[in-house]
Amino acid sequence: MRNQALQRPLLGALASVALLTTVAACGGADAGTAAKADGKLETTNLKVGIVPVIDHAAVFIANQQGFFKEEGLTVETQAVQGGAAAVPALMSGDLQAAFATYPSFLLAESQNLGVTIVAEGVRATETTGGVYVAATSSIKDAAGLAGKTIAVNTLNNTGDITIKAVLKEQGVDPGTVKFIELPFPDMKPALDKGSVDAAWLVEPFRTAVAGAGGRMVLKSYSGVAEGIPVSGLGMSDAFVAKNPDTAAAFGRAVEKANAYIAADPERARQIVTTYSQTKPEQAAAMELPKWTAGKPDVDQLTRWNDLMVQTGALTKPVDVAAMVLGK
């Protein structure tokens, strides 16, 4: 575990975030900072940044099943737009933990911001994310994407990094493709209007486009990116240094939730309707990611170093092993 000086974030203004829900209750009325001499956690109140999608179900399962309560934690969730907003909020202390894609964490680490990965989120499958075109598009496969415009939710992140790597593996020059940044909710209208040729989609947006006849022409989580860990939960180095037992307790609770969902992934499908705008019929049609038991796998996370350096998102690898709690 590192104990390095942190720099203030230079990632731009923090996106406005809205309180979503309080996800766990702790016994004491004054749950807050506790003295270590009493054998208690350094702090028991945590605010966690999440995007209200099925990938982040573990935080809500941990509440539902009492895993946070068992660890003595009260966890409040706050909706964020994604890792680009979550990481600055971690650094400023507005959030104590946050879900983000691993590229977001590695990019922050490359800027010496200091991020600790405390728990795994989900891993990809070939059906959970990919490049889609409208039903009327003439594009049939990866080769058809050469020279086209693809919308991704964030540049230099999971979408375009995996697309570039898989295109190259399939013999298509990724340099011929233009990537533009577009929020996920705007992608279906853009496809319908023809303002983009293709869009990188994940759930629940994938289901909406597929339901309207849209077709996947590139599996972004295939080949070199097959089964790669997509997202995890992070904390700032500064917070972990001051609150090591709290960080460990939080990680244990999320690990329990991951194992619980891994044993029956339908539990995630059931709970997503309680914290998002996903309707039961939409949840039933979703392609689920993969939850795994245990701690973050350093070897699997290091795959992002390879992809990010290969595609130019990073100029050099970061020390992933040093970022993982307890490694």
- Give the tens place of pLDDT for each residue, 219-262: 999 999 999 999 999 999 999 999 999 999 999 999 999 999 99
In a domain, 4, yes or no: no
- The domain in which residue 187 lies consists of 129-225
Whether residue 203 sits in one domain with residue 56: no
pLDDT band at residue 83, thresholds of 50, 70 and 90? confident
Both 317 and 236 in one domain: the answer is: yes
Alpha carbon distances (Å) from 147 to 1, 20, 160: 45, 41, 15
Work out the percent of the chain whose per-residue pLDDT is above 90: 77
Please, which pLDDT band fits residue 203 given cuts at 50, 70 and 90? confident
| 28 and 65, same domain (yes or no) | yes
Look up the pTM and report it. Answer: 0.84
Domain co-membership, 168 together with 262: no
Residue 80 is predicted with a pLDDT of 86
Over its C-alpha atoms, the chain yields an Rg (Å, rounded) of: 20
Q: Which of 123, 51, 61, 45 minimizes the C-alpha distance to 86?
A: 51
Same domain, 233 and 202: no
> Quick one: how far is CA 290 from the chain centroid?
13
Number of domains in the chain: 2
Return the SS3 of 47.
strand
Rounded percentage of the chain residues whose pLDDT exceeds 70: 88
Q: Which of 145, 111, 83 is nearest to 6 (CA)?
A: 111
Do residue 198 and residue 253 come from a single domain? no
Query: What does the pLDDT read at residue 323?
Result: 97
Beta-carbon neighbour count of residue 226 at 10 Å? 14
Per-residue confidence (pLDDT) for residue 84, from 0 to 100: 76
- Kindly state the average pLDDT of the residues 192-202: 96
Name the pLDDT band for 52 (thresholds 50, 70, 90). confident
Look at residue 204 in the predicted model and tell me its pLDDT: 84
